[in-house]
Amino acid sequence: MFKKILIAVVLLLLLAQIPFIYRRYKLRRLSAAIQQLNSQRTTARASDGYREYKGVIHVHSFLGGHSSGTFSDIIAAAQANQLNFVIMTEHTEQDFDTAAMTLKGVHGDVLFVNGNETAAANGDRLLALPEGISIVAYPEEFKNWDTPGLAGVEVYNVYTNTRKANAVKAFFDVLWSHRAYPDLLFALYYERPDGPLKKWDEALAHAKLTATPGNDAHANIGVSLRDGTGKTLAGIQLDPYATSFRLVRLHVLADPSKALDTAQLLSALKVGHCFIGFDLFGDTSGFRFEAAAAGQTVIQGDEIPLQTDLRLTIRTPVAARLVLLKDGAVILNESGITTKEFRVTERGVYRVEIYLTEIDRIVGEKPWIISNPIYVR
């Protein structure tokens, strides 16, 4: 009798693994689809007068707790991902200035900007960057939208997304798929940030606010065995910086005649000359969103007056589904697009989301690109 019960239990355990075997199969299909899409890339015409840089924002080290990540780990991960910049946002400490102590300047050919993640008495969190730039972190929980000097909104945060994952499901996904697809595992849990995007769209009705992603990189999720000196003997790290930096990036458009520095980077970020790219699904470099009329051309983040010949132009590096929104409402949804012109007849705040049909068929509808707005006044 005991033997039969044991066999039944084993069979049930094996059957319970079928969904996770299938999810690993989906990741294999996803990997193949991404490779195929990357092979189809074309170089979009660069916006006149701008050069594109890619990097990450909302990164923590050992300073301020919550992480044991070293500066060397972060620099190496940035180099491995061929990033141009990393914006540090250390947790604050009462007795010392973590922003002053963290990475800043150029290290390993990567520009580092030093900042803090701050918390107000009411729980509101901001990413406080040099030159007085403040970005709303965790907008779904943010209360005081009248805070002076707000420059942006973190419309997507990796930690906020992944903490919604079912722990049991995630455990078995890691067992089955982490070794083969450590980065793509994230795709099983990535969702469009509906709530933060809605908050941002509502705020855009009253102010110009740049959308940014938040890698919220800590390199602190996993299990490890260490000796008395702190040396790791064995373990698994689920969120190393190298992986976190591959998931989502901020792509910035800046002056190509100058070497990228902190002032130039922050200026472009503040005015919204940038877009969010979920580069996990393929490099989003080359995306362009412009408006033109009467010989004037502007890019995302800029304002332009309504004119009879005003047109928006969207270009993507691969054929994709384009969703154009005006004041937060969808006004255009077309597939198979690499270049699209749209005649503008009304004032409003226009922004774009780009989706990859081949990816959506495998893991569901997930934005590949989220632009910043063009403001038609």
**Cα–Cα distances in angstroms (integers) from residue 122 to residues 125, 142, 144, 263, 268, in the given order:** 9, 9, 9, 31, 30
CA–CA separation, 104 vs 155, rounded Å?
Answer: 25
- Residue 224 above 50 pLDDT? no
Highest mean pLDDT out of 10-14, 17-21, 63-67, 144-148: 144-148
Q: To which residue do tokens 């923590």 refer?
A: 60
| pLDDT > 70: percent of the chain | 92
Is residue 99 within 8 Å of residue 83, measured between CB atoms? Answer: no
| Average pLDDT estimate for 235-244 | 78
In this structure, whether the domain defined by 17-282 belongs to CATH 3.40.50 is answered with: no
| Average pLDDT estimate for 165-181 | 83
Looking at residue 222, its pLDDT comes to 53
CA–CA separation, 135 vs 160, rounded Å?
Answer: 16
User: Residue 220 — very low, low, confident or very high, per pLDDT cuts 50/70/90?
Assistant: low
pTM above threshold 0.85: yes
CA–CA separation, 367 vs 240, rounded Å?
Answer: 24
For the chain, the domains span: 17-282
Looking at residue 226, its pLDDT comes to 47
| Pick from 134-138, 153-157, 233-237: least confident | 233-237
- Residue 44 above 70 pLDDT? no
User: Residue 66 — very low, low, confident or very high, per pLDDT cuts 50/70/90?
Assistant: confident
- Residue 253 above 90 pLDDT? yes
For residue range 273-332, what is the model confidence (pLDDT) as tens digits?
999 999 999 999 999 999 999 889 999 999 999 999 999 999 999 999 999 999 999 999
| Average pLDDT estimate for 57-71 | 90
| Average pLDDT estimate for 146-152 | 92
> What size, in residues, is the chain?
377
| pLDDT > 90: percent of the chain | 69
Is residue 208 within 8 Å of residue 272, measured between CB atoms? Answer: yes
CA–CA separation, 292 vs 307, rounded Å?
Answer: 10
b/e 166-188 (16+ beta carbons within 10 angstroms → b): eeeeeebbbebbeeebbebbbbb
CA–CA separation, 243 vs 250, rounded Å?
Answer: 15
